[in-house]
Amino acid sequence: NGTQESVKRLCELGHSHIALMPGPQNSVSATLRLENWLSSLATFGKTPAAVIFGTWDAQSGYDGARELLDNKTAFSALLVGNDQMALGALSALNKAGIAVPRQVSVIGYDDSYESAFFIPALTTVRLDLDAQGQEAVARVLAATPDSTPDSCVMPAEFILRDSITVNGKG
């Protein structure tokens, strides 16, 4: 639900060209975030401006944002699969003279402790990793030897900070 809220907020703010940086192509988390972003964008009648895969670190976020800029991809918002990649993207945008959030809005994922101290402070999605771990263990313990544990969607919280604004009206 955090991925859905991110897309909804950006669309409500008037963003129509949203680029996606979900993380590694072989990651279950990145795949789920990408699928949810794509589904949420489709709900608003939109497709991504681009999809750039990364490796969860700041360097790949930097490289991904540089790729968007070097390819002259038109985008007013960037959804990033974790906060470390978002940090790299913020750095690349800053070095290119692109003001966040006035020209490009950025949303991360995970709400790492440091994300509140990025410049600008990063809007992100907070996951309760302790609750996820407890739920996973409970489901595994409740499963029988010949069954597969059920899956579920855990709640996520949208954390609004300074890295998003109304498209073109910052």
- CB 162: neighbour CB atoms within 10 A? 15
The answer to whether 57 and 84 are in contact (CB under 8 A) is yes
At 147 the pLDDT is 72
Q: Whose structure tokens read 């790299």?
A: 88
Task: Judge whether residue 141 has pLDDT over 70.
Answer: no
pTM: 0.86
Cα separation, 149 vs 34, whole angstroms: 23
The answer to whether 124 and 3 are in contact (CB under 8 A) is no
Q: What is the pLDDT of residues 77-92, one digit of tens each?
A: 999 999 999 999 999 9
Task: Judge whether residue 168 has pLDDT over 50.
Answer: no
